[in-house]
A and B are shown apart, each in its own frame.
Chain A
Amino acid sequence: MTAVTPAPPSTAGAPAPADIAPGSRSGGRSRLRAAAGFAFGAALLFAVAPLALSDFRLALLAKYLCVAMVAVGIGIAWGRGGMLTLGQGVFFGLGGYAMAMHLKLADAGPGGMPDFMQLYGQLDELPVWWRPFASPWFALPATVLLPMAVAFGLGSLVFRRRVRGAYFAILSQALAAAMVILLIGQQGTTGGTNGLTDIQGFFGYDLDDPVNQRMVYFIIAGVLLALLALARQLIHSRYGELLVAVRDSEERVRFLGYDPASVKLVAYVVAAGMAGLAGALFVPAVGIISPALIGIVPSIEFVIGVAVGGRATLLGPVLGAVAVAWARTALSERFPGTWTYLQGLLFVVVVAFLPGGLASLWALARRRDAGPEQSRRGWPAPARRRASRAEAHR
C-alpha cells in the first residue's frame, strides 16, 4: 500500500502538502463554515482591531494587511501552482507607483508637477508617460491591470518555454532587481532612491487626519476580505483542482490535453493583480513608495510570511504574512540588525522541517481529533520519472 514518502526535492518549490478538500466534503457545510469564518474575520478587522488598537498600531496593521494581500496571491501561485514567485515586489511596486503617481499629481493640482521633478530632473513639463496618471479613471484600474499585463507578458514567455523551479525563482528575482535599477536610474522622473514620498491627500481626503487614516484602514481590511473570498472561490473551483494537478505533475496534465502553460499563467496573473492592488493601497496607508520597498529583499520577505503560515492553505499565507511583518517591527525595534538573520533562519527552518508551514500543525491536530482513518496523508510524491527522463532531452 502507499507509504508516506517524503517529497522528492524536485523543484525549488518542493510540493507542499495540499490542503485540498476531497470531493466528499459536503458543499453546504463547508460553505457555512467559510461564511462563519469570514464573519469572524470581519468582526476582528472591523470591530475589535479599531477598538483595541491605537491609531499608530492600527496604521501598522493596515500596512501588514497590504503585505497579506500579496501573500494571498503568492499562496495561489506558489502554494497551489508551484511557482516560487520571488519577485512579487515588481507587481507590488507597479501598483504602488501607479497609485502614488496619481496622488502626487492630485497633490500638485491641475497643471502642477510633483516637487521632486524640478529638484532632480530640472524638468519644466510633465513627462508624457506621467500624464495619463492624472486621471483616476486611468490610474486606479492601472494599479491592478498594469501588473497583470506585465505578468501576462512575462508568464507567456516563460511558462511556454518550461522555465520552472529554481530557474523561475531566479528569473523573478532578477526582474525585481532590474526594476529597482531602472527606478533609481531615472531619478528625475521616478524620484530615484527616495521614491515618491510625502503624499498628502487621498482623493480629496487629508491623509494626516487620523479619521481618514482609519478610513484607509477600513478600505484595506475590506479589500483583503474580498481577495480572500476570491482566492477561496478559485481554490475550490475546477480550475483550482487543475492547478494543483499541474503543480504535482505538469507532464501528466499535458497528456490529458491541457496546456499547463496557460493554467499557470492564470494563477501568476491573478497573483500579480493582487500584489498590484496591495501596492496601491500601501501608498495611502504609509504615504510613500520607494525602490527599497519593492526590491529583492521585500520580495523575499513576502514569500517568507507565506512559507511560515502555510503556502497551500487559504488563511496560512495571510496569518503568516501578518505575523512575520509584526515580528519584524517588534524585533527590529529591540534588536536592530539581527532581524535579517533571524528571518533567514526562520525561512530555512520552515522550509526544511515544516514544508506545509504552521498550517500543517493545525491540520495535523485536527486530523488527530478526526480519527485514524483520516490521518493517512503523505506528501505528494508525483511520479515524474518518465517525464523527466524525456525532458532531459529537450
Chain B
Amino acid sequence: MSDDRLDGLSVRDVRVSFDGFTAVDGVSLEVPAGDIRFLIGPNGAGKTTLVDAITGLVRATGSVCFGDQELLGRPVHRISRLGIGRTFQTSTIFEELSVVQNLDIAAGARRSWATLARRRRGIPDEVAAALETVGLTGRADQLAGTLAHGQKQWLEIGMLLVQDARLLLLDEPVAGMSHEERDATGALLETVSRDRTVVVIEHDMDFLRRFARSVTVLHAGKVLSEGTVAQVQADPRVQEVYLGHPVDAGPVPSGLEA
C-alpha cells in the first residue's frame, strides 16, 4: 500500500483570490519531512484558505509539491490519495456512524468494489491500531455523534492515520479542548510525526510553545515571519501584528496576547 518514505511539503508563490479579494497572496514555505509546523496568524490571515488550496478545495496559482508530486490542479480525492489528509475547523466526522465505521470508511478509499460489496467482519488491523493510537479503543462501537468534543477531534486524526496520510493538515485541532485533552493531543502529534509530516493551524500560544518544532506566521495573506518558536516570538513584526501596534493594525485575535 503506502510507501514509508517521509516527504516534505513545499509551497511556492501560492495565490488564492475570491472575486478580486486576495486571501492568500504569494505564500511560499518549506515544511521539511517529519516537522511539526505551526501555522499561526490573526483571524482572516488566510491560514485555512492556504490549506484549502493545498487540498484542492479552492483554485490556486503557484505550486504545491508533496515529495515530488505537484498537487495543484488535481481533484480533491486524488490529492487525498497521494497521502494528504486534513481536518476542518468544525468537526466533520460521520455522526450517524459508529467510531469503527468512521475509521473503516477512512481506511477504504483504495478498496475494490468487491470488498465494498461485502460486510465488514470484525475490526481491520489498521483500524484497531488507529483506535489504540488515538485512545478510542473503548469507544469503538459508540456512535461518533455521541463522543465528547475532544474525542471527536481524535477520531478525526485517527481517520487520517488509517487513511495513510503522510502529510497531516490540522485546522485548529485543540480549539475548545480542556487542558488534559490538549496535552493528550500534543502527545498524539508527537507520536504521529515520527513517520509523518504535520502542519497545525492553531491560535493557542501555550499549545504552540510546547509542541511546535517550527512556526510560520501569516498575516493578510502573506508570510510575515518564520522560524523556531523563540525566533518568531522575538520578531518585532509579529509583535506588531499580535499586539495591535499602530503600524499595520490587524485585528487582535482573542487569546493571542502572549
Contacts and interface: CB of A to CB of B under 8 A. Distances in A.
A241 B90 contact: no
A238 interface: yes
A378 B145 CA distance: 8
A377 B145 CA distance: 8
A248 interface: yes
A175 to B, nearest CB: 27
B97 A22 contact: yes
Nearest to B55: A255
B117 A241 contact: no
A237 B117 contact: yes
A233 B18 CA distance: 45
Given A23-B101, A255-B76, A390-B52, A382 B116 contact: no
Interface string A241-263: 11011001101111111110000
A161 interface: no
A23 B118 contact: no
B143 A257 contact: no
Contacts of B101: 20, 22-23, 241
B159 interface: yes
B88 A22 contact: no
Contacts of B81: 257
B104 A241 contact: yes
A248 B144 CA distance: 13
Residue from B75, B96, B115, B147 whose CB has the most chain A CB atoms within 10 Å: B96
B242 to A, nearest CB: 25
A1 B85 CA distance: 26
Nearest to A262: B113
Nearest to B59: A393
Contact of A241 (B92, B97, B146): B97
Interface in B52-101: 52, 55, 57-58, 75-77, 80-81, 85-86, 88-98, 100-101
A386 B96 contact: no
Contact of A254 (B76, B117, B119, B140): B76
A40 interface: no
Given A24-B98, A24-B141, A382-B92, A376 B146 contact: yes
Nearest to B162: A256
B85 A245 contact: no
Contacts, number: 132
A383 interface: yes
Given A24-B141, A238-B119, A256 B98 contact: no
Contacts of B89: 386
B187 interface: no
A251 B86 CA distance: 12
Nearest to A390: B57
Contacts of B58: 390, 393
Interface in A359-394: 376-378, 380-387, 390, 393
Interface residues on A, range: 35 or more
B108 interface: yes
Contacts of B105: 238, 241-242, 245, 253, 256
Interface in B229-258: none
A184 B117 CA distance: 40
Contact of B146 (A2, A253, A257, A386): A2
A386 B97 contact: no
Contacts of B146: 1-2, 376
A245 B97 CA distance: 8
A373 B159 CA distance: 26
A238 B18 contact: no
A377 B143 contact: yes
A367 to B, nearest CB: 13
Contacts of A386: 48, 88-90, 92
Contacts of A382: 92, 94-95
A259 B75 CA distance: 9
Interface string A157-170: 00000000000000
B110 interface: yes
B88 A23 contact: no
A234 B75 CA distance: 28
Contacts of A257: 77, 80-81, 109-110, 163
A249 B98 contact: no
B86 A255 contact: yes
B91 to A, nearest CB: 6
B140 A23 contact: yes
Given A255-B85, A257-B110, A383-B88, A23 B100 contact: yes
B96 A244 contact: yes
A45 to B, nearest CB: 26
B5 interface: no
A265 to B, nearest CB: 12
Interface in B112-156: 113, 115-121, 140-143, 145-148
B44 to A, nearest CB: 13
A57 interface: no
A238 B104 contact: yes
A2 B96 CA distance: 12
Contacts of B86: 255
A255 B76 CA distance: 6
Given A20-B97, A237-B119, A258 B92 contact: no
Residue from A256, A381, A383 whose CB has the most chain B CB atoms within 10 Å: A256
A236 interface: yes
A23 B119 CA distance: 11
Contact of A22 (B55, B98, B116, B119): B98
A119 B143 CA distance: 63
A238 B116 contact: yes
Given A22-B141, A238-B108, A239-B117, A259 B90 contact: no
19 contacts: A1-B148, A2-B95, A18-B96, A23-B98, A23-B140, A237-B119, A239-B116, A242-B116, A253-B105, A254-B80, A255-B80, A256-B77, A256-B105, A257-B109, A259-B75, A259-B77, A382-B95, A385-B90, A386-B89
Given A2-B147, A237-B119, A242-B108, 4 more contacts: A23-B141, A251-B92, A256-B77, A386-B88
